[in-house]
Amino acid sequence: TGAFTYDPGFTSTGSCESEITYIDGDKGVLLHRGYPIDQLAEHGDFLETCYLLLYGELPTSAQKADFDNRVTRHTMLHEQMARFFTGFRRDAHPMAIVCGVVGALSAFYHNSTDISDPHQRMVASLRMIAKLPTIAAMALKYSIGQPFVYPRNDLDYAANFLHMCFAVPCEEYKINPVLARAMDRIFILHADHEQNASTSTVRLAGSSGANPFACIAAGIACLWGPAHGGANEAALNMLSEIGSVENIPTYVARAKDKDDPFRLMGFGHRVYKNYDPRAKIMQKTCHEVLGELGITDDPMLEVAMELENIALTDEYFIEKKLYPNIDFYSGITLKALGFAPNMFTVLFALARTVGWIAQWKEMVEDPQQRIGRPRQLYTGHTQRDYVPMSRRK
């Protein structure tokens, strides 16, 4: 039925042309529209990176102000949607809630499901970038039984998110600018990463003409897995399980043992065969957050730093080119910011939404775009005749 290349895991299949993100995995380089990730994280804010990913250029100050204003206009969630949350069990994983609620946005914004209209495509994009923090914060509040906190549009994107997550009625919530800046930087670091599993899922879903809300919900579902977005939660659990520096060698030995399925979470990457450039900034941000909060003796940070030292000098990790990835330090940082581990992947989804949307838009606007349809290597039975039930053994 025609020739094709068998490529499990798509390790050598290019599925699209893209102008958005460039990675050189051997050198540890990550560029968005040509700009290095460390420069974007150091000098800009998250909404600037969003603008860059969506429009291809850094905004002028007037464009930035207009963009911020347009995003801010969409931060509220329809009151009816709040009832969606209350339908979930209170111990539901926040990722399950966010995945469901984002998919349900298509039931609320019918006009934005018209993907043939460029204006509606942009409105859908802005709606999701604006509403994801509100949805994520509501999932958090629901999981701990606190009332929802409405967005405050006088705050910037990250500060407003922290406000919605941590403000409680009858108590003043003061934004700590160092922590808000760290949150913003974490969002920048997660904004896009070319054709990873969830982004490819979004593109594949979108290739059939599915509406953008449904496509992003598909991306969120894919991100949930521990080999992808769930790794930050898994990395923190692993650090906590290791517990103290003396136990590290046991876990390193387990990671190297072929018969043990255990892996060092937060290590290794399909594309980076060098230090993940995002991990360096994340490590720095981690120290800033812990310093600001006066946390001087976090045992998990101690375990993480020692584990990194040991792994970076171990023959197995050197030979297999396994370096810390972005998730290695993000769990410790997010925990210090006040998030429970079950929120970590939600924060990743929130930040990655802009990348998914930019990639989805690029695909929809590509005249060469066709429905995605991988082939398979069939290994089942050859043709055989139906056996009546009375004769089956």
Q: Which residues are part of the catalytic machinery?
A: 269, 327
Query: Is 136:350 a contact under the CB 8 Å cutoff?
Result: yes
Between 126 and 332, CB nearer to ligand CMC = 332
Query: What is the C-alpha separation between 113 and 130, in angstroms, rounded?
Result: 17
Residues 158/163/166/167 CA torsion (nearest 10 deg) = 170
The nearest distance, CB 379 to ligand CMC, in angstroms, is 21
Local structure of 18: helix, strand or coil: coil
358 secondary structure, DSSP code: H
DSSP 266-298: TB--SS-SS--HHHHHHHHHHHHHHHHTT----
Instruction: Tell me the closest approach of the beta carbon of residue 269 to ligand CMC, in angstroms.
Output: 5
CB of residue 258 to ligand CMC, shortest distance in Å: 7
Nearer CB in complex with ligand CMC: 171/259: 259
Which CA distances in Å does 150 have to 17, 47, 75, 144, 215? 40, 20, 9, 16, 26
Positions touching ligand CMC (CB under 6 A) are: 9, 196, 227-229, 231, 255, 263-270, 320, 322, 325-327
Query: Is the distance from CB of 50 to CB of 42 less than 8 angstroms?
Result: no
How do strand 21-24 and strand 35-36 relate by DSSP bridges? Answer: unpaired
The residues, ordered by sequence, that sit 6+ positions from 211 with a Cβ below 8 Å of its Cβ are 106, 112, 113, 115, 124
| Secondary element (H or E) of residue 35 | strand 35-36
CB of 171 to ligand CMC, least distance (A): 35
Between residues 204 and 326, which has the closer beta carbon with respect to ligand CMC?
326
Nearer to ligand CMC, 258 or 370 (CB): 258
**Least distance from ligand CMC to the Cβ atom of residue 375, Å:** 21
The residue type at 11: T
Q: For residues 99 and 227, what is the distance between their CA atoms, to the nearest angstrom?
A: 18
Handedness of CA 194, 355, 352, 45 (dihedral sign): positive
Q: In angstroms, what is the minimal distance from the CB of 69 to ligand CMC?
A: 32
